[in-house]
Structure 1
Amino acid sequence: MIKFRTRMIIALITLIIFVLVGIGLLLGQLLKNYLLDSLDDHSKIVILWSISLFLGLALIVIIILGLKITSRYTKPIVEATNVAIELTKGNYRARTRVDQLDETGMLGSSINRLAQNLQELVKTQEMQHDRLKALIENMGAGLVFIDSRGYINLINKGFIDIFQVSPSDYLNKLYYEVIEEEEISGLIAEVFRTEKKVNKQILIPLFIERKYFVVYGVPIIGTNNVWKGVLLVFHDITELKKLEQMRKDFVANVSHELKTPVTSIKGFAETLLDGAMNNKETLEAFLSIILKESDRLQTLIQELLDLSKIEQQGFQLAMQDLDLHTLLEEVITLLNGKAQTKGIHLELISKQQQVIIKGDVDRLKQVFINLIANAITYTPAGGEVKVILLEHGENVRIHVKDSGVGIKKEEIPRIFERFYRVDRARSRNSGGTGLGLAIVKHLIEAHHGQISVRSELGEGSEFIIELKKE
């Protein structure tokens, strides 16, 4: 455009020069034929210089006018053209300068408005694209889009995190070539075939665990019934399945634990009513068993109530300053008789005579009674149980260590589950319910503490509780 403007100016000036030269030659010829012959030499020179000066001035004025006209009309058009070129390249921030309100100014203003509208439109599209991308990537479920030809066009972050796959292994590949699970491939094929929504619960083994998913297959149909493809959504319901199984196990275990003492009580009561009560020794023995089973039943119900209360959302501890050393001494005094009956040496080891922490006295007492009683129960006669109290800066550690039967390594992760028993026969004979350690764990976590276990089969166990002083 600049070359065109330069050539046009040169052509215009050349044309003007030719015109002026032609006019000059014409005037000179006329003057020569009609006027110069009658004038003297001095007059001739003056006239010729006057004509030349006039023609020169006229040429200068014409050139100046040409440049002004070019600057007024050609330059705005060039700038508008350059802005239009930038817009075609995607640079929607380009603008042309508007100095006048004539036709060229209106052209520049129109192009500027067009550029502004395009910029706002692109900005809106980018915002919508970012929102859609953020929604897809963070929707909390795995998402896969398969086009109408069966090629995978999109997988989101949720799908990548769930299945630990690389996008390059899936994108632009046929779904039945990369999706190994036959149930998922069959679901996709069913959506393609029926063009209807399909959902299934699918169990998929992933690495070392099995996960449950609800998989939704949705046909994507555009305007004019144009088939776009299939959208797959994976919802992980593994935790829900675990909770459901936990609920079933809990109901089954509670039913079993309640049934056993009730059956014993009912059986011995019926035997007594059938005539066994006439024998004093039998009567005392049966009543002792009924009392024992009643205590066991009462303990089970109380622990169920405690566990239910602890797990409630509004459960709160009665926090206060307490001396942990004094609390442990009280618990050991309470359980010392049980230990002596089995010939077990029970002792408290602590360098400090006073360890002040913030906690719930009754709940922590319940924790230590449970742990120390368990240690006595699972320690054979002649063994020992040590309770060690240590301070670690802002934390306090309590070790309950016994020389008992120990726990298998593979069973340690499960000992805090409700109703789980390492030795079911020994637990039932000792009146255990299988809820004690579950209650302990909940109460320690309610104190923002931690509990861990060290144990070797046949070498005893060590429960370690760590609590904050504040």
Structure 2
Amino acid sequence: MTIFRTRLVMALITLISFVLVGLGILLGELLKSFYIESMSDGLKMKIIWGIALFLVIAVVVIIFLGIRITSKFTKPVVEATDVAIELAKGNYRARTNVNGLDKTGMLGKSLNRLAQNLQELAKSQEMQQEQLKVLIENMGAGLVLIDSKGYINLINKGFIDIFQVSQADYLNKLYYEVIDQEEIRDLVTEVFRLEQKVSKQLLIPLLIERRYFVVYGVPIIGTNHVWKGVLLVFHDITEIKKLEQMRKDFVANVSHELKTPITSIKGFTETLLDGAMNNQETLESFLSIILKESERLQSLIQDLLDLSKIEQQGFKLNIQKIDLFKLLEDVITLLQGKAEEKNISLELLCPEEQVQIHGDVDRLKQVFINLIGNAITYTPSNGNVGVILLEQGETVRVHVKDTGIGIKKEEIPRIFERFYRVDRARSRNSGGTGLGLAIVKHLIEAHHGQISVISTPGEGSEFIIELKK
């Protein structure tokens, strides 16, 4: 555009120059015809120089006016053209400096207003796209977008994390070539066939585990019923399924644990009422069993109430300053008789005679009664149970070590589950409810502590509790 403007100015100046020169020649001929012949030579030269000077001035004026006219009318058009070209390229920050009340000024203002509107629209669109991207990537569910031809156009971070895949393996590939799970392929095919929303609950094996998903297949239909593709949404419900199974197991276990002592109490009571109560020895034996089963039933109900209370969201500990060494001494004194019945050596080892921590004295006593009581229960006669208390900087550690039956390695992760027993027969004979270690774990975590287990079958177990001072 600049070259065109320069050429236009040069052409205009040349044309005007030719016109002026022609007029000068014509004027000279006229003067020559009428006046020059009667003039003196000096006067002739003056006239000639006057005409030449006039022509030069005229040319200068014409050039000046041409440049001004060109600047006034062609420069704004050039600037407007340059801005329009930048806008077409997507540079919405481009602006023209053309001002005024004439048509070129209005053109400049209109272009600037258009550029500003386009910039705001682009910014709004960019913000919306960014929000949509953040939403898609962090929606907590797997997302797959398949176009009308069956090619995968989009997978989000949720899908990548769930199935441990990369975008390069999926994008712009046919869904039935890259999706390994037949159930998912069938679901997509069903959506394409029915053109309706389809949802299924699928159990999908992933690496070393199986996970449950609710998968939604949604048809994407545009205006005028134009088929756009299919959207797949994966909701992981594995934890919900686990909780549901835990609830079922809990109800089944509670029912079984309650049924056993109630059945025993009912059976022995009926036998006594049928006449066995007349035999003093039988009466005492049966009443002893009924008492034992009643105590077991009471213990189970108490443990269930404790566990329910501990798991409540509003559960709070009564935190105070306590002497952990003194607390362990009290627990060992309480359980000493139980250990002596089996001729088990029960002792407390601690380099210090006073270890101060902050905790709930009643709940910590409940923890150590459970742990030390279990150690005595699962240790054969003439065995050893040791409780070791150690201070380590800002933490204290309590080791409860026995020479009992031990726990298999694969069973260690399950011993803190409700009603799980390593030795079911021995637990039932000892009156255990199967809830003790579950309560222990919850109480230690409520104190922001940790509990771990080291065990070897046939050699014994060691429970290690770490608490902050």
Question: What range is the shorter-chain TM-score in?
Answer: over 0.9
Between the aligned partners of 1:175 and 1:61, the Cα distance in structure 2 is 77
Larger mean Cα displacement after TM superposition, 178-187 or 458-467: 178-187
Structure 1 residues 328-354: Cα deviation after superposition (integer angstroms, max 9, x where no partner): 110011111111111111111111111
* AA of the residue aligned to 1:212: Y
Report SS of the residue matched to 2:464: strand
1:86 aligns to 2:86 (yes or no): yes
* Alpha-carbon shift at residue 94 of structure 1 (Å): 0.7
1:98-113 alignment runs, 5 A limit: 98-113=98-113
Q: TM-score, normalised by structure 1?
A: 0.98
Matches within 5 A, 1:71-470: 71-469=71-469
Report the secondary structure of 1:203's partner residue. Answer: strand
CA distance in 1, matches of 2:332, 2:135: 58
Q: Secondary structure at the match of 1:150?
A: coil
Q: Aligned partners of 1:230 and 1:43: how far apart in 2?
A: 100
Give CA-to-partner distance per residue, 1:150-191, whole Å, 9 cap, x none: 111111111111011111111112111122222211111111
Matches within 5 A, 1:12-51: 12-51=12-51
Cα deviation for residue 101 of structure 1 reads: 2.5
Partners of 1:149 and 1:18 lie apart in 2 by 71
Helix, strand or coil: the match of 2:346? Answer: strand
Residue 66 (1) aligns with residue 52 (2)? no
Instruction: State the Cα distance separating 1:99 from its structure 2 match.
Output: 3.4
Counterpart residue type for residue 269 of structure 2: A
Question: Shift of residue 51 of structure 1?
Answer: 1.4
The CA deviation at 1:117 is 1.1
Distance 2:40 2:194 in 1: 113
Residue 57 of structure 2 is matched in structure 1 by 57
Which residue number corresponds to residue 6 of structure 1? 6
Paired with 1:122 and 1:195, the residues of 2 have a C-alpha distance of 34
1:254-282 residue CA offsets vs partner (Å, 9 max, x unmatched):
00000111111111111111111111111
Q: Distance in 1 between matches of 2:75 and 2:98?
A: 11
**Rounded Cα–Cα distance in structure 2 between residues aligned with 1:135 and 1:283:** 73
Q: Which amino acid aligns with 2:127?
A: M
Identity, % of aligned pairs? 78
Query: Please, which moves more after superposition, 428-437 or 100-109?
Result: 100-109
Specify the SS of the correspondent of 1:343: coil
Q: CA deviation at 1:145?
A: 1.3
RMSD: 0.9
Give the AA of the match of 1:428.
R
Q: Extract unaligned runs of 5+ from structure 2.
A: none
Q: Which amino acid aligns with 2:386?
A: K
Counterparts of 1:82 and 1:227, CA distance in 2: 42
Secondary structure of 2:448's counterpart equals: coil
Residue identity matched to 1:159: F
- Distance across 2 between alignment mates of 1:42 and 1:191: 108
Structure 2 counterpart of 1:127, one-letter code: M
**2: CA distance, partners of 1:378 / 1:372:** 10
Q: How many residues align?
A: 469
Structure 1 portions without partners, runs of 5+: none
> Distance in 2 between the 1:271 and 1:58 partners?
142
Quick check: 2:96–2:108 contact (8 Å CA) kept in 1? yes
2: CA distance between counterparts of 1:196 and 1:87? Answer: 43
Counterpart code for 2:278: N
- Give secondary structure in 1 for the equivalent of 2:3: helix
Q: Which one-letter code corresponds to 1:137 in the other structure?
A: E
Amino acid at match of 2:245: Q
How far is the alpha carbon of 1:45 from its aligned partner? Answer: 1.6
- CA shift for structure 1 position 100: 2.5
8 Å Cα contact 2:145-2:230 kept in structure 1: yes
Q: 1:445-466 deviations in whole A, cap 9, x for unaligned? A: 0011111111111111111111
C-alpha contact (below 8 Å) 2:99/2:106 kept by paired residues: no
For residues 167-222 of structure 1, the C-alpha deviation after alignment (integer angstroms, 9 at most, x for no partner) is: 11111121111222222111111111111111111100111111001111111111
Letter of the aligned partner of 1:238 in structure 2? T
Q: CA deviation at 1:362?
A: 0.3
- Partner SS, residue 452 of structure 2: strand
Q: Matches of 2:281 and 2:192 in 1, distance apart?
A: 79
Within 1, Cα distance between the matches of 2:406 and 2:223?
Answer: 69
State the alpha-carbon separation in 2 of the partners of residues 77 and 354 from structure 1: 94
Secondary structure of 2:224's counterpart equals: helix
Cα separation, 2, equivalents of 1:107 and 1:179: 56
| Partner Cα distance (1:187, 1:25) in 2 | 95
| Aligned mates of 1:5, 1:218 — CA distance in 2 | 60
Counterpart CA distance in 1 for 2:307 and 2:211 is 28
SS of the aligned residue for 1:230 comes to strand
Measure, in 1, the Cα distance between the counterparts of 2:31 and 2:387. 137
Q: Which runs of 4+ in 1 moved over 4 A?
A: none
Greater Cα offset, 166-175 or 153-162: 166-175
Question: Once structures 1 and 2 are overlaid, which stretch shifts more, 119-128 or 235-244?
Answer: 119-128
Counterpart of 1:163 in structure 2: which amino acid?
F
> Aligned with 1:131: secondary structure?
helix
Mapped to 1, the partners of 2:466 and 2:294 lie a distance apart of: 35
Residue 313 of structure 1, CA deviation? 0.6
Counterpart secondary structure, 2:74: helix
CA distance in 2, matches of 1:36, 1:443: 130
Distance in 1 between the 2:83 and 2:456 partners?
81
Distance (whole Å) between structure 1 residues aligned to residue 460 and residue 97 of structure 2:
89
